Chain A
Amino acid sequence: DVKVTQSSRYLVKRTGEKVFLECVQDMDHENMFWYRQDPGLGLRLIYFSYDVKMKEKGDIPEGYSVSREKKERFSLILESASTNQTSMYLCASSDQSRGDLGEQFFGPGTRLTVL
């Protein structure tokens, strides 16, 4: 059973703070993703990684950075949090070695509030 875990379910930060969101998967997946989920806007891809130390920008990378030092861990960093980054953040992973690349496994989400 694939498990994707996220470090916090709820997080409250102040404007200007540096914020770290951690994601860990235990299935040796190559691909990992960070999305934000907002009502009416659906899922928007922030960054993804298909290998250790590799990263690719998604559709809304501004204001975010990522780190992937180990295969199982993918971190999302908000260098200076702003109120418009208040959102639900979802992490996901997928198995690159299989032919089926469309199935992503999601974490429970982190609801971040920036005051």
Chain B
Amino acid sequence: AQRVTQPEKLLSVFKGAPVELKCNYSYSGSPELFWYVQYSRQRLQLLLRHISRESIKGFTADLNKGETSFHLKKPFAQEEDSAMYYCALYGRGSTLGRLYFGRGTQLTVWP
């Protein structure tokens, strides 16, 4: 069964510090992993996806199939990064378009 785990409900760092939001998954097939972000009073939106292997707003995430992880990283956090972050999994062969979300991590970046 598909499962996404985000072990940290809350994460706080100071501006300029590195930040890592953890995500682990379980899926027997070939997964596609995503990070979604929700800024205060804004709608939930896609931040990045592992297949594109790109950096968005300074964030990167690498899919580690051996550790079944997809941690989100940024070397120097900014105050505007404060938001709720959700890791999500799409399993090829699963019901069309269905995503499995983790419970989310609320990131706070202090000035």
Q: How many residues of A contact B (CB 8 A)?
A: 24
Q: A43 at the A/B interface (Cβ < 8 Å)?
A: yes
Residues of B within 8 A of A50 (CB): 95-97
Instruction: Give Cα A100 to B90, complex, Å.
Output: 10
Given A31-B97, A43-B101, A102-B32 contact (CB < 8 Å): yes
Residues of B within 8 A of A62 (CB): none
CA distance A40 to B102 in the complex (A): 10
- B53: interface (CB < 8 Å): no
**Known: A40-B9, A42-B86, A43-B86. Is A102-B99 also a contact (CB below 8 A)?**
yes
Assembly CA distance A1 to B86 (angstroms): 22
Which residues of B come within 8 Å of A, CB atoms?
A: 6, 9, 32, 34, 43-46, 49, 51, 86, 88, 90, 95-99, 101-104
